[in-house]
Amino acid sequence: MESSPAGGALGLRPEAAAIARAIAAANVIHLASHENPDGDAVGSLLGLRLILLELGKTVHVALPHPVPGRYAFLQGANAVELSLPADAPDLAIALDCDGADRLADLRDAILAAPVVANVDHHQGNHSFGDLRYVDPSAPATAAQVHAIAGELGVAISASEATCLYCGLATDTGGFRFGNTTAAALRVGAELVEAGADPEDIARRVFTQRPLAAALLEGRALCSLRPVLGGRVLVASLSRDDFRSAAAGPDDTEGIIDAFRDVRGVEVAVLLKESEPRTWQVSLRAQDVDVEAVAAQFGGGGHRVAAGCTVNGNLEEVEVGVLAAVEGALREGEAGA
């Protein structure tokens, strides 16, 4: 197919054009995204990798944690490393990171590059990098990568479209969340025209899951309880729960979204023990600013979908997080 007009469905963006020029001038490029990668992180990373390879660039890609199994079907997933080469590239691009610290162990390697580009759509982005394409109105970082491809004049291939569609679909909740804008649907349509298969991607990402994930959800359900007058649901998964279900961190994906969708619930909280006295906190909301809640603990995300890491025993962590959630509920009422 012919390449999309410059800027694509997101419209003309001078920031995207600036990054496209930096890409054109570079020979060696390093790409990275955030810890505990989701579909947008993986899809954006792999989609941009393929685009850069098509342009003849030398590309190294890394994530702080392995690619979750549900995204292993994307082309290039097996090329993702947990570290980057010691030799500095010409250009480093951080994708979908609302702050350099979200790069975890890759932070120093990315920031050491002579030119650093920051491509992200989070509201709470703690701006870093020499070139910044930070657009909270974008539905997903994958859509921003699509815009950069338009500025580069690249004709999106089916494999590239599949990666970017995966990122777009996951961050919009299968085109159900509030960020499902007209622009998001236009980007999705262009990616389908380029060869992405919505049915196959939805089946692989949203429908299929291993038995371990189902068993883990059962354990989360056993701990589920309403608090704050039923406005909040909270659940927890200990390290013993993960061991008993033979499950890993990526097997939790989707559990909290089901809790958030319970009638009458405004916020869902899932506490996951990753190490002794270390809890990964996932927050989902209908219309409450949980990004502000996560920020109190050094985390981030989106207004209605965020996360953070909190240290302490389960009771301490739960009390602290729920106090912050209660504050967010009160602020929401005051601003209504």
pLDDT at 12: 60
Average pLDDT, the chain: 93
In terms of pLDDT, which residue wins out, 207 or 6? Answer: 207
- pLDDT confidence band for 4 (50 / 70 / 90): very low
What does the radius of gyration of the chain's CA atoms come to, in whole angstroms?
19
Structure letter (DSSP) for residue 114? S
Query: Does the pLDDT of residue 3 top 50, yes or no?
Result: no
SS3 108: helix
pLDDT at 41: 98
Give pLDDT, residue 5.
41
* Torsion, Cα of 22, 101, 255, 252 (10° steps): 100
Contact between residue 6 and residue 151 where contact means Cβ atoms under 8 Å apart: yes
pLDDT tier, 124 (very low <50, low <70, confident <90, very high otherwise): confident
User: For residue 39, which phi and psi values (nearest 5 degrees)?
Assistant: -65, -35
Reported as a pLDDT band with limits 50, 70 and 90, residue 280 is very high
Contact between residue 280 and residue 298 where contact means Cβ atoms under 8 Å apart: no
Look at residue 286 and tell me whether its pLDDT is greater than 60: yes
Question: pLDDT, tens digit, for every residue of 127-137?
Answer: 899 999 999 99
DSSP 125: -
Model pLDDT for residues 245-261, shown as the tens digit of each residue: 999 988 998 899 889 99
Can you give the pLDDT at residue 2?
Answer: 37
Read off the tokens for 301.
């995300």
Question: pTM here?
Answer: 0.85
Q: What percent of the chain has pLDDT above 70? A: 96
Residue 75 binned pLDDT confidence (cut-offs 50, 70, 90): very high
Q: Where are the domains of the chain?
A: 8-206, 211-335
**Whether domain 8-206 has CATH 3.30.470.20:** no
> What pLDDT score was predicted for residue 6?
41
One of 3.10.310.30, 3.40.50.1820, 1.10.600.10, 3.40.630.10 is the CATH number of 211-335, namely 3.10.310.30
- Burial class from Cβ neighbours inside 10 Å (0-12, 13-18, 19+) for residue 252 reads buried
In tens, the pLDDT along 287-307 reads 999 999 999 999 888 899 999
Q: Contacts by 206-212 with C-beta closer than 8 Å and gap 24+?
A: 206/174, 206/254, 208/70, 209/70, 209/251, 209/254, 210/69, 210/251, 212/245, 212/246, 212/247, 212/248, 212/251
Tell me the mean pLDDT in the region 175-184.
93
Q: Tens of pLDDT along 7-60?
A: 556 656 799 999 999 999 999 999 999 998 999 999 999 999 999 999 999 999
Q: Which helix (H) or strand (E) holds 229?
A: none
- Residue range 176-200: average pLDDT? 96
Asked if the model's pLDDT at residue 123 lies above 90, the reply is: no
